[in-house]
Amino acid sequence: MLKTDISPDTYALKAEEELVKRAQHSREAFGELYELHYQRIFNYAVKRTASVQIALDITSVTFLKAFSQIKKYRWRDIPFAAWLYRIAGNEINDHFRREGRRPASIEQIAELADTTDYIDEINQAEEELSRHEEFLLLRQKLAELPPMYQEVIVLKFFEKKKIREMVKILGKKEGTIKSLIHRGLEKLKEKMR
């Protein structure tokens, strides 16, 4: 009997690699990638921007860019989501640069509760955003941090990414990410006082 040491993670990566290769030639396969990753990219954008509408726009642009560049994408044994997070992160940073990096106000975040005609996933994100007043204050203070700190804090604490996953997503060294998290949390603590 043959013993295989293929972990579920390795199997999932291989399956995703095959799906990505198919997506490079098939719209239907790209649709599968979209279905697999839409919710997590949308949630990431909502948490970074505190705006459902901006998050919808950023998520759309992220997948549009991914679709237009999928033929150039090269598999490197890194989850496809890492590439999507990188595109979304760049779009979010561009958005803040265009807007003069204005953080969302409490009023803007509270407006999320007024939207009722969106699909279930948006309602779910709104509930998550409005659960605690403390989160609103934290989100406002987080938005005041430079984007490099926002990015690592959101990935680590809101998206629950491990350092090794963040290395793949951000293309930075492990020590750099740990340092950014530490410095970002220190700056956030100062702002929360």
Work out the average pLDDT over 1-27: 78
Tell me whether residue 1 is in a domain.
Answer: no
Q: Which residues contact 169 (CB under 8 A, 6 or more apart)?
A: 81, 82, 85, 86, 89, 155, 161
In a domain, 159, yes or no: yes
Look up tokens 């990935």; give the residue. 155
For residue 7, being part of any structural domain is answered with no
The answer to whether residue 33 sits within a structural domain is: yes
More confident call, 20 vs 103: 20
Please state the rounded mean pLDDT for residues 84-104: 82
Q: How many domains does the chain have?
A: 1
The verdict on residue 2 lying in a domain is no
Domain membership flag for residue 95? yes
Residue 50 region, left (φ>0) first, then alpha (ψ -120 to 50), else beta?
left
Over residues 140-170, the pLDDT tens digits come to 888 889 999 999 998 998 888 999 999 999 9
Tens-place pLDDT, residues 43-93: 899 888 888 889 999 999 999 999 999 999 998 888 899 999 999 999 999
pLDDT average, residue stretch 131-139: 66
Position 25 pLDDT exceeds 90: yes
Reported confidence tier of residue 1, pLDDT bands at 50, 70, 90: very low
> Is there a domain that residue 141 lies in?
yes
Res. 106 pLDDT band, cuts 50 70 90: very low
**Token pair listed for 92:** 């979010």
What confidence score (pLDDT) does residue 129 get?
58
Cα 18 to Cα 21, 37, 44, 83, 127: the distances in Å are 5, 16, 25, 16, 36
Domain span at residue 127? 14-192
Measured CA to CA, the distance from residue 177 to residue 77 in angstroms comes to 20
Angle, helices 80-98 vs 8-23, to 10°: value is: 70
Question: Strand, coil or helix: what is 77?
Answer: coil
pLDDT exceeds 70 at position 122: no
Per-residue pLDDT band for 130 (boundaries 50, 70, 90) equals low
113 pLDDT higher than 50: no
Task: Express the helix, strand and coil content of the chain in percent, nearest 5 each.
Answer: 75, 0, 25
Q: Which residue carries 């990015």 as its tokens?
A: 151
pLDDT at 115 over 60: no
Residue 5 maps to a domain:
no
Residue 20's H or E segment, with its range, is helix 8-23
